[in-house]
Amino acid sequence: MATPAISEIKKHYPEALVTVLCSPASVEILQRNPAVGRILTFDKKSAGFWKIAAMAARLRRENFDVAFVFHRAFGSALMAYLAGIKRRAGFTTEGRRIFLTDPVHLDTAKHRADNDLAVLQAYGLKPDLNAPLVFITDPSDERFPEEVLGEEVVKSGYAVFNLNASWETKRWPIEKFRELVQRVEDELGLKPVGIGAGNEREMVDEALGGRGVNLAGCTDLSKLGVLCRKAKVVVTNDSGPMHIAATVGAKVIALFGPTNPARCGPRSRNAVVVRRSDLDCISCYKKHCPIDFPCMLGIGVDEVFELVKEAVTGNIGG
């Protein structure tokens, strides 16, 4: 979500060394980004004061001119303050205003990428508010789909299905995915391809129902990006792979329930969001549903299948 803001920082300061401090899991997203000059990592899990202070001491030795603090947590702003960075722009969440020289209110009605661009505005920059998300795949992975699926499958067409999400409440039921997979193959002639982590292979197998190709655990993010870009369509829950697919230009059908696409939806003209906007409890942000899970159960296979057909004919998004 921060990549549009990172691009705009580099655009405004082309001679600057833009250093990004991120979690180890985020390195792969940033490592080919031309706006990023250097990447430092910090694992914020169980990061108490002394761990934050140690990282701040390391940053202090770098003599940075400005810190753009896109992370919302208290410790992130505290770290920039302890590092002695003179200008510190960021959100006032969690009582962090005292650590910031250029504070900005977090607007929860805005997309997260737009909020990050607002941090640049608080500092005094005038960023392009339509700056896109950036994820660049490795050129050596360009033929990954052909290698794992075969030339004919790639030529005739395949559909990618992402079943997982970080919360249980963000996951469309497996049985609905399985019905959709069957119809996509039988009625549209597309080869179903399931993706996920290595420990999700069994879940993906269940959704594929003996059809298609299970690539759970077989892709890094670059290979995933190429796989999605060459697909006819990607059907996905709200998740990291959804953003990867949207950013590389894939046709994306994103299934939303407890989260709000206005805040975290795919930023792409080739993406459409499916959600039960008629529910009073929609976008509740609950990780455990206290009722009958109506937001995701209420998304019908017929509705999603029609969108898949539109994507195949080139009429989706826009």
Q: How many domains does the chain have?
A: 2
Give domain status of residue 129, yes or no. no
204-219 mean pLDDT: 96
When pLDDT is averaged across residues 170-175 and rounded to a whole number, the result is 96
Look at the block and give the residue holding tokens 């005292």: 98
Q: Is residue 136 included in any domain, yes or no?
A: no
CA distance 96 to 109: 20
Expressed as residue numbers, the domain containing 8 is 3-123
Give the H/E segment covering residue 89: strand 87-91
Position 135 in a domain: no
Does 213 share its domain with 259? yes
Confidence label for 316 from pLDDT (cuts 50, 70 and 90): low
Q: Is the pLDDT at 318 greater than 80, yes or no?
A: no
Asked, for residue 130, whether it belongs to a domain, the answer is: no
Percent of the chain with pLDDT over 70: 99
Rounded to an integer, the average pLDDT of 221-246 is 97
| Distance of alpha carbon 139 from alpha carbon 223, whole angstroms | 10
Per-residue pLDDT tens for 16-53?
999 999 999 899 999 999 999 999 999 988 788 999 99
Residues 44-99: tens digit of each pLDDT: 887 889 999 999 999 999 999 999 999 999 999 999 999 999 999 999 999 999 99
- 134 falls within a domain: no
Residue 227 lies in a domain: yes
Is residue 291 in some structural domain? yes
Asked if residue 148 and residue 114 are part of one domain, the reply reads no
Q: What pLDDT score was predicted for residue 248?
A: 97
Q: Which two tokens stand for residue 59?
A: 């940053």
**Residue 88 to residue 65: CA distance in whole angstroms:** 9
pLDDT grade for 275, boundaries at 50, 70 and 90 = very high
Q: Which pTM does this prediction carry? A: 0.92
Residue whose pair of structure tokens reads 């597309």 in the numeric block: 190
Q: What is the CATH classification number for the domain harbouring 182?
A: 3.40.50.2000
